Amino acid sequence: VFMMGSAYGVPGTNNVYDWQMEFNGVRGSCAEVAPQTYTGLSAPLVGKYGHDLIRKGCRGLNMSESADTEWNVFLDVKAWWMTYKFLSKSPAKVYVLAANATLDMDIHLQEFVDGAAEMENSLLATFVVELAKSFLNAGECKWWDAQTAVMSLDALLGRGDGVCAGWAHSKRTSVGLVWRSELAPGEKLPYGQIKDDPDGDSPLIDYCLLGDAPQMRSEYWRAIKTIK
């Protein structure tokens, strides 16, 4: 089983930011209203008598300062808790690509334009370029999903570390379900944190904590350019 998400393992790799809590005029975007976060599908929230109908940020917190999580976990923390619980009873090997593994893997449009020009499948080439453009419009863009796919192939084919330059192997962890709107100085929001927990109801997990950017680009383009 291969999963992508969490700020596990390296302090300071939270990627849920306060500026993402206002998008297309919608303020207060948070986990329970995920469509407001990036898509703008929900109608903008309006002020009344000089006051906003909801608190700015995420339930009153500045996530850039307070959060210790990652979007794939944060948008459905309960789902991560349930998945870990289910997998704890499974013989499946579990791998998780953590946020820190992608920090040095920015998406650059020109790289995708150049790579697409060498692809054999013209429709796929167009899709790859347009997908890169869409991701770049989000304000932050890394090789997230693609790196997870390549990481999974490396593991299945026994390629060793592959596109991961650093691992935390066989870690039993738990995900925080507690929300606190008031935090002590220096305290991080527990909600969405994934921490080591010897008593956690989860499988032993291999976390990819560091990425190998040159290896990632080499494996990705070598595979995708030859698709018919």
Helix (H, G, I), strand (E, B), or coil: what is residue 214? helix
Rounded to whole angstroms, how far apart are CA atoms 186 and 165? 30
The pLDDT of 119-124, averaged and rounded, is 93
> Is 2:148 a contact under the CB 8 Å cutoff?
yes
**Amino acid sitting at position 94:** V
Looking at the chain, which runs of residues are DSSP E strands?
2-4, 22-23, 26-27, 47-48, 51-52, 94-97, 164-171, 173-175, 194-196, 205-211
Residue 149 has pLDDT above 50, yes or no: yes
What percent of the chain is modeled with pLDDT above 90? 54
Rounded to whole angstroms, how far apart are CA atoms 74 and 61? 14
118: left (phi over 0), alpha (psi -120 to 50) or beta: alpha
Angle between helices 213-224 and 144-156 (to 10 degrees): 80
pLDDT digits (tens, 9 = 90+) for 162-208: 899 999 999 999 999 998 888 999 899 999 999 999 999 999 999 99
The pLDDT of 27-31, averaged and rounded, is 58
Residue 32 has pLDDT above 70, yes or no: no
pLDDT band at 37 (very low <50, low <70, confident <90, very high): very low
Residue 105 has pLDDT above 80, yes or no: yes
> Is 70:7 a contact under the CB 8 Å cutoff?
yes
pLDDT, mean over the chain: 85
Helix (H, G, I), strand (E, B), or coil: what is residue 142? strand
The partner residues of 171 in beta bridges, in order of sequence, read: 205
Measuring CA to CA, which residue among 151, 27, 152, 155 is closest to residue 101? 151
pLDDT band at 36 (very low <50, low <70, confident <90, very high): very low
The pLDDT of 150-158, averaged and rounded, is 90
pTM of this structure: 0.82
Helix (H, G, I), strand (E, B), or coil: what is residue 156? helix
